[in-house]
């Protein structure tokens, strides 16, 4: 049980040359062991896009629900919280789509690896 607490999980893209999922590499004493966790390219892009959408949504909610929104000319009816949520969600779609394109290009072209190919 003590070994489980000292394992560092490393996320890798699921590719044929990777070690098996849940492989544990033992390290010298006193160092945390490394556990390989593989995810498909689509899962990784999905997680990243969802994170970007939620971050953008929260940022737009905070902006629209505060005086900062009015300072830049965004005026919503008072106490229209549902309107703030919907407007924020629609504004958060754009950064999520751009993030999806960027992450798909990086992962599908393997720019995220240490291969001899071009890296970002």
| Same domain? 11 vs 62 | no
Q: Is residue 55 part of a domain?
A: yes
The closest of 49, 34, 22, 21 to 107, measured between CA atoms, is 49
Q: Is residue 59 part of a domain?
A: yes
Q: Which domain holds residue 53?
A: 41-108
| Same domain? 102 vs 60 | yes
| Same domain? 104 vs 80 | yes
Q: pLDDT digit of tens for each residue in the chain (120 aa)? A: 444 456 666 666 666 566 666 667 666 776 777 777 777 778 888 888 999 999 999 998 888 877 777 777 777 666 678 888 898 899 999 999 999 998 888 877 766 555 544 444
Structure tokens at 1: 């049980």
| Same domain? 19 vs 45 | no
Q: What pTM does this model have?
A: 0.63
| Same domain? 57 vs 101 | yes
| Same domain? 31 vs 52 | no
| Same domain? 34 vs 52 | no
The closest of 83, 88, 104 to 53, measured between CA atoms, is 88
Check if the beta carbon of residue 26 is closer than 8 Å to that of residue 44.
no
Number of structural domains in the chain: 2
Q: Is residue 19 part of a domain?
A: yes
- Distance CA(39)–CA(3), nearest Å, equals 23
């Amino acid at each position: 049980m003590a070994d489980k607490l000292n394992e560092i999980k490393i996320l890798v893209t699921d590719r044929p040359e990777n070690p098996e999922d849940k492989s544990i590499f033992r390290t010298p004493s006193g160092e945390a062991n490394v556990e390989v966790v593989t995810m498909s390219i689509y899962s990784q892009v999905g997680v990243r896009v969802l994170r970007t959408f939620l971050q953008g949504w929260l940022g737009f909610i905070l902006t629209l629900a505060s005086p900062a929104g009015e300072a830049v000319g965004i005026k919503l009816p008072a106490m229209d919280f549902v309107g703030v949520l919907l407007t924020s969600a629609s504004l958060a779609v754009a950064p999520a789509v751009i993030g999806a394109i960027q992450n798909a290009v990086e992962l599908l072209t393997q720019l995220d690896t240490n291969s001899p190919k071009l890296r970002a």
